[in-house]
Amino acid sequence: MVELPKFIERGEIARLIPVVADTSKENRAASILLATLMSVENFRQALLESVGQRVGSRAKIDCFTEVVFKGCLADIKSRPDGLIWLRVGKRSWSALVEAKIGRAQMDEEQLKGYVQLAKRNGVNAVITVSNQFAALPTHHPVLLPKKSRPAVELYHWSWMYVLTQATLLQAEDEFDSPDQRYILSEMVRYFKHNSAGVSSFDRMNPEWRDLVVKVQSGGSLNKTLPEVENTVASWYQEQRDLCLIMSRELGRYVKLKLKKAHKDNPLRRLRDGCEELVKTAQLTCEMDVPDAAATIEVTADLRTRHISCAMRLASPRDRKKTSARVNWLLRQIEKTEPENIFVKAIWPTKAQDTMASLAELREDPAILQTDNQSLAPKHLEVIMVRDLAGKFSGIKTFIEGVEAVVPRFYEQVGQHLRAWVPPPPKPREGVSAELQAESAETPETQIP
């Protein structure tokens, strides 16, 4: 008999093979996830660490489904899909889990209800799992004000985030036993199947097409308009999905690069994103690939209907001429297909940036030079530009375009770039001879 927390009237231990009705996809998905969390040590370490809980070998964890809280027997709406109960020594931590499958989304009232339920019963957190994406587990798709969730932490995992974490652990192949490897592989197999209801972010908000047309026709945007906020929110979901796609492709965890203020305050991040869209008519993000020479900057320009990816490198200071610095870069991407690839030179002082296609630079590396022949570029930026034309305004074709360009850019450019490293210093001329002469003149110390 499994011990239940004191605030639980009843609950079933999470099963890897749950016996539920065919229509209960959410219950099945939650049970499989929680059972795997209990069974596979490195998987629970990865997921629980993302919500601030470090799980060592002494930790005990139980996960339950069909949870009924004391005093809530008749209230079906107060029955979350699961509960995580973690104990380390005398310390315990618990979290309600609510799962959504397919296009189902958590609404604000339901979330507030679970937060209040958690508060009444001393539960530390509420974790939602759905096909909605969030930049960080602490950035919930439903933006509840702090006063609506006192003393209860709110977290969100997308199903693709869960699947990506599991896929990366499979690639590392560091399991305590073959049984744990097998259990995780079965969970991955289930969630990858179309019938599981797990999906990637595949479409922008319904207002996207009209917003693009408005920008194209010269209309102005207002940062407080719902269509602007919904567009930025959709773009933020796509950013996260892009990182997960790249993570699975590379077998390494690719992260969004966020300002500290945006990490700590998702509401401010949304406001700043709306201001940027209104001011520049662009949607942007930065992706941090482990050990890459620079972050990948992705830009969707609503005016030109272009998607661009770029990486900026400091140019080698040990080469004086512009052509020499450009050749240093060209050697790194000598096998790159030149179509849609450009190189931009960023100059010191107030000199205007110059840009040329990769094909042109292979013919003449000096064409980036400014009128001031004494200047050499401070940075060199490699850019892939893709014109989506009419497909840019499609709610699905836009996403398809972005998710085609970014991996292509990394394959053709990103993986080949290396940051410039200053060479080690060389001995000054004549110094070695002087040291030898001084050594010869100094009498040897006699050891008694």
* pLDDT confidence bin for 198, thresholds 50/70/90: very high
Q: Which CATH number applies to 208-416? A: 3.30.930
User: Mean pLDDT, to the nearest integer, of 10-15?
Assistant: 91
User: Mean pLDDT, to the nearest integer, of 433-442?
Assistant: 64
User: Mean pLDDT, to the nearest integer, of 160-169?
Assistant: 96
Question: What pLDDT, on a 0 to 100 scale, did the predictor assign at position 432?
Answer: 61
**Is pLDDT of 416 > 90?**
yes
**Is pLDDT of 53 > 60?**
yes
**Is pLDDT of 75 > 60?**
no
In this predicted model, what pLDDT tens digit does every residue of 313-326 receive, in sequence order?
Answer: 999 999 999 999 99
Question: What pLDDT, on a 0 to 100 scale, did the predictor assign at position 55?
Answer: 87
User: Mean pLDDT, to the nearest integer, of 181-208?
Assistant: 95
* pLDDT confidence bin for 447, thresholds 50/70/90: very low
User: Mean pLDDT, to the nearest integer, of 106-112?
Assistant: 89
Name the burial class of residue 145, with classes exposed (0-12), middle (13-18) and buried (19+) by CB atoms within 10 angstroms of its CB. Answer: exposed
**Is pLDDT of 365 > 70?**
yes
**Is pLDDT of 270 > 90?**
yes
Is the separation of the CB atoms in 160 and 241 below 8 Å? yes
**Is pLDDT of 228 > 90?**
yes
Single-letter amino acid code for the residue at 385:
V
Q: Domain ranges in the chain?
A: 8-196, 208-416
**Is pLDDT of 141 > 70?**
yes
* pLDDT confidence bin for 442, thresholds 50/70/90: low
Question: What pLDDT, on a 0 to 100 scale, did the predictor assign at position 448?
Answer: 47
* pLDDT confidence bin for 366, thresholds 50/70/90: very high
d(CA 140, CA 114): 14
**Is pLDDT of 276 > 60?**
yes
User: Mean pLDDT, to the nearest integer, of 177-190?
Assistant: 96
Is the separation of the CB atoms in 88 and 58 below 8 Å? yes
**Is pLDDT of 107 > 90?**
no
d(CA 159, CA 162): 5
Q: Which of 251, 296, 322 is nearest to 417 (CA)?
A: 296
Is the separation of the CB atoms in 253 and 292 below 8 Å? no
pLDDT over 70 percentage in the chain: 93
- Assigned token pair, 2: 């499994």
* pLDDT confidence bin for 424, thresholds 50/70/90: confident
* pLDDT confidence bin for 425, thresholds 50/70/90: confident
Q: Which of 98-112, 392-406, 407-421 has the lowest mean pLDDT?
A: 98-112
Question: What pLDDT, on a 0 to 100 scale, did the predictor assign at position 409?
Answer: 98
**Is pLDDT of 76 > 70?**
no
* pLDDT confidence bin for 444, thresholds 50/70/90: low
In whole numbers, what is the pLDDT of the chain averaged over residues?
Answer: 91
Where is pLDDT greater, at 211 or 371? 211
Where is pLDDT greater, at 86 or 373? 86
Is the separation of the CB atoms in 264 and 223 below 8 Å? no
